[in-house]
């Protein structure tokens, strides 16, 4: 293990990048990204592909940056956090700080995935062939060895991070293919799976399901929150459905429109958004994106976020739909329109474009790409088609990248082409026996295909728990769960008080999230599944739903195996 100062690493990365600039056209170079890390920074030099190490020069390694809480004590259990994306950089340390300050101390580790943040690759896309989850999983093992620890106490994987966590467990965990036992526990938060995308129709169906979840969230924001608008929720949802479909058709993804908004509005003197009947504000598109994460469960954490999204959307549509004109100047008493726009404008969920695009394509995580790949058979054409009609019409579907000079979406042109058999990501291909906790939000469009059930029933062989939370969206950097009522026995003296539940330090709010993670990491599985905390989950959600007037909504559901391990009548929640 070697520690490098920031200045020395910047110099090293710069030299590596410069050595490749002359060998490949700049049009196909990825731009670098230098993000700050949190905690003590460490560096381990890792081969791009360890299976080809003997065929590669010693210089064919990159600097993998990871971060540990201070002080790192080898005798303490160590927890690894895998961020989403792929390619997201941890900038909000809420979860890490919580784990780091637990009464029973943990070392907390996270890393910048290969190609992102400080773990940069040379800019030429010749190195895109090494941006695969299978290599990133082996990077995790390199970090463990560099730390000198016998095994990970736990890995917590959020969204895409669940892909890495599941693969690591399926390779190095108990019952994994490597025959080792290097992981004690696994937590999968908002897990990702595209196992149902086996055909063009399957991919299209998943895209529609994801959009339907977002529209349902919007309807319920107006039903339970901005009630003045509730009579118009169907009209608004219909309009938004049209916008979402048009964004996908013309530009490939909502996130791309958000990231490239200014360029699309002035593309060689043309306003491509206006030309394609998508002339809306930047905040409007960001609000649509936030429908993935804000959910509709109204509690202390989310009310303002939900109302901000709903307000920006209805105010924007009021200028375009006659029936909504009455809302052109409307705002609720407790939230100004300016504050709502500011909240939406300040939201950010951007990943490193290179890692996000390349890994999403080759690891089978991009449903839209898979749709065209399954239909067309070749990668370049599927990439261009997945970028939307505007880009593919300017560039053509099958022409070489050199002929594509007006690149609406330059990122798909940068992806290094590789003749690989690309299949949809299926966690069941990596079974293991590691005790696992799965947390799933009922308003999460990313897992609209019931991925958590696939993992729970078919990818896991050991003890596991699955908890489904109504009205919770896709977490951005953390899982937002309600606060425990101060009248709860668990809240009398710290958030996890109880006969069989441990207690985190007193300086935390009474959050289900904190109690839940702490309890699972600290308790044996048999103790965890019988902990009073699980009753409190059901009670807390019932309280919040009742307060909302939403008693008819689906309640929180908790499953445990070995009691509930098979699909069918026996799998009703406890």
Q: Could you tell me the two tokens for 476? A: 């951005």
Walk across the sheet containing 557-561 and list its strands. Answer: 40-47, 61-68, 107-111, 78-82, 152-158, 183-189, 436-441, 464-469, 557-561
What span, in angstroms and rounded, lies between the C-alpha atoms of 525 and 513? 17
Please write the tens of the pLDDT for every residue from 105-154. 788 899 999 999 999 999 999 999 999 999 999 999 999 999 999 999 99
Tell me if 441 sits within 8 A of 190, measured CB to CB: yes
Phi, psi of 67 (to 5 degrees): -135, 140
Least confident of 13-22, 318-327, 406-415: 13-22
Q: Is the pLDDT of residue 348 over 70?
A: no
Where is pLDDT greater, at 5 or 435? Answer: 435
More confident residue, 246 or 69: 246
Mean pLDDT is lowest, of 261-270, 343-352, 520-529, for 343-352
- How far is CA 63 from each of CA 1, 13, 57, 108, rounded to the nearest angstrom? 11, 8, 15, 20
Statement: residue 493 has pLDDT above 80 = no
pLDDT of residue 143: 98
H or E element, residue 304 = helix 303-318
For residue 357, what pLDDT band results from cuts at 50, 70 and 90? Answer: very high
What does the alpha-carbon distance between residue 176 and residue 434 come to, in Å, rounded to a whole number?
Answer: 9
Summarize the confidence of residues 211-235 as an average pLDDT.
Answer: 97
Instruction: List CB contacts of 456: < 8 A, sequence separation 6 or more.
Output: 438, 464, 466, 559, 561
Query: Whole-model pTM?
Result: 0.88
**Are the C-beta atoms of 364 and 424 separated by less than 8 Å?**
yes
Q: What angle do CA 440, 445, 446 make, to 5 degrees?
A: 75
Q: For residue 373, give the 3-state DSSP assignment.
A: helix
With contact defined as beta carbons under 8 Å apart, do 87 and 352 qualify?
A: yes
Residue 529: pLDDT above 70? yes
For 535-547, what is the mean pLDDT? 88
Residues 106, 96 contacting (CB under 8 angstroms): no
- Three-state SS across 6-41? HHHHHHHHHHHHHHHHCCCCHHHECCCCCCCCCCEE
With cut-offs at 50, 70 and 90, classify the pLDDT of residue 449: confident
Burial readout 459-483 (b: 16 or more C-beta within 10 A, e: otherwise) = bbbbbbbbbbbbbbbbbbbebbbbb
- Does residue 404 carry a pLDDT above 50? yes
Q: Is the distance from CB of 169 to CB of 430 less than 8 angstroms?
A: yes
pLDDT in tens, 64-73: 999 998 788 8
- Tokens matching residue 524: 């044996």
Return the pLDDT at 500: 40
Strands 107-111, 61-68: pairing kind: antiparallel
pLDDT at site 329: 96
**Mean pLDDT throughout 195-221?**
91
The number of CA neighbours under 13 Å toward the Cβ of 519 is 30
- Per residue in 297-339, pLDDT tens? 997 768 899 999 999 999 999 999 999 999 999 999 999 999 9
Q: What percent of the chain has pLDDT over 70?
A: 79
State residue 109's pLDDT score.
92
What's 62-131 look like in SS3?
Answer: EEEEEEECCCCCCCCCEEEEECCCCCCCCCCCHHHHHHHCCCCCCEEEEECCCCCCCCCCCCEHHHHHHC
Please report the domains of the chain, with CATH numbers, ordered by start residue.
Answer: 6-150 (3.40.50.1820), 200-346 (no CATH), 353-414 (no CATH), 427-571 (no CATH)
What are the beta bridge partners of residue 479? Answer: none
Going by pLDDT thresholds of 50, 70 and 90, the confidence category of residue 375 is confident
First to last CA, the chain: 47
Do 142 and 53 form a contact (C-beta atoms < 8 A)?
no
Q: Minimum mean pLDDT among 80-94, 262-276, 361-375, 488-502: which range? A: 488-502
What per-residue confidence (pLDDT) applies to 473? 92
Q: 47 forms bridges with which residues in the sheet?
A: 61
Residue 10 predicted with pLDDT over 50: no
Res. 539: pLDDT tops 90: no
Mean pLDDT confidence for 386-391: 93
For position 299, what pLDDT does the model report? Answer: 78
Residue 303: both structure tokens together: 């009310």
pLDDT at 495: 44
pLDDT of residue 397: 60
The span from the CA of 568 to the CA of 427, in Å, is: 21
pLDDT in tens, 26-52: 455 665 544 555 678 999 999 999 877
Residue from 90, 68, 89 nearest 147 by CA: 68
User: What's the pLDDT score for residue 22?
Assistant: 30
């Amino acid at each position: 293990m070697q520690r490098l100062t920031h200045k020395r690493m910047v110099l090293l990365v710069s030299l590596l990048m410069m050595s490749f600039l002359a060998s490949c056209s700049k049009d196909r170079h990825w731009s670098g990204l230098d993000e700050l890390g949190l905690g003590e920074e460490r560096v381990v030099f890792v081969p791009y592909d360890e299976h080809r190490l003997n065929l590669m020069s010693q210089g064919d390694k990159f600097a993998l940056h990871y971060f540990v809480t201070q002080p790192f004590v080898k005798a303490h259990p160590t927890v690894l956090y895998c961020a989403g994306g792929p390619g997201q950089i941890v900038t909000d340390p809420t979860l890490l700080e919580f784990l780091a300050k637990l009464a029973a101390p943990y070392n907390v580790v996270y890393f910048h995935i290969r190609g992102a943040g400080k773990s940069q690759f040379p800019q030429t896309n010749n190195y895109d062939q090494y941006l695969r989850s299978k290599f990133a999983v082996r990077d995790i093992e390199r970090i463990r060895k560099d730390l000198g620890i016998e095994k990970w106490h736990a890995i917590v994987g959020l969204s895409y991070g669940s892909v890495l966590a599941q693969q690591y467990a399926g390779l190095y965990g108990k019952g994994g293919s490597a025959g080792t036992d290097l992981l004690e526990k696994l937590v999968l938060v908002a897990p990702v799976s595209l196992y149902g995308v086996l055909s063009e129709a399957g991919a299209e169906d998943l895209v529609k399901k994801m959009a339907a979840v977002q529209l349902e969230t919007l309807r319920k924001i107006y039903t339970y929150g901005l009630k003045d608008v509730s009579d118009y929720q169907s009209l608004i949802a219909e309009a938004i459905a049209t916008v979402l479909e048009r964004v996908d058709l013309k530009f490939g993804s909502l996130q791309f429109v958000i990231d490239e908004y200014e360029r699309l509005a002035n593309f060689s003197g043309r306003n491509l958004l206006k030309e394609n009947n998508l002339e809306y504000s930047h905040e409007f598109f960001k609000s649509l994106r936030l429908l993935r994460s804000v959910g509709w469960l109204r509690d202390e954490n989310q009310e303002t976020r939900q109302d901000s999204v709903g307000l920006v959307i209805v105010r924007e549509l009021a200028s375009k739909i006659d029936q909504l004109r009455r809302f052109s100047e409307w705002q609720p008493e407790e939230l100004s329109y300016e504050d709502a726009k500011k909240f939406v404008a300040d939201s950010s969920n951007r990943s490193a474009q290179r890692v996000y695009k390349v890994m999403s394509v080759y690891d089978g995580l991009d449903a839209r790409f898979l749709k065209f790949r399954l239909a067309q058979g070749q990668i370049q054409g599927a990439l261009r088609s997945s970028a939307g009609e505007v880009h593919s019409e300017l560039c053509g579907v099958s022409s070489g990248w050199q002929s594509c000079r007006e690149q609406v979406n330059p990122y798909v042109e940068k992806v290094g082409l590789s003749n690989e058999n690309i299949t949809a990501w299926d966690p069941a291909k990596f079974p293991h026996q590691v005790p696992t906790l799965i947390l799933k939000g009922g308003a999460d469009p990313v897992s609209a295909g019931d991925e958590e059930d696939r993992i729970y029933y078919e990818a896991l062989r050991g003890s596991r728990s699955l908890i489904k939370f109504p009205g919770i969206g896709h977490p951005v950097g953390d899982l937002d769960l309600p606060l425990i009522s101060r009248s709860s026995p668990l809240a009398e003296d710290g958030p996890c008080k109880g006969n069989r539940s441990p207690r985190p330090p007193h300086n935390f709010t009474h959050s289900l999230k904190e109690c839940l993670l702490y309890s699972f990491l600290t308790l044996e599985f048999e103790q965890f599944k019988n902990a009073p905390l699980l009753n409190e989950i059901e009670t807390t959600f019932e309280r919040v739903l009742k307060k909302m007037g939403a008693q008819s909504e689906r309640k929180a559901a908790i499953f445990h195996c070995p009691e509930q391990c098979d699909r069918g009548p026996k799998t009703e929640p406890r």
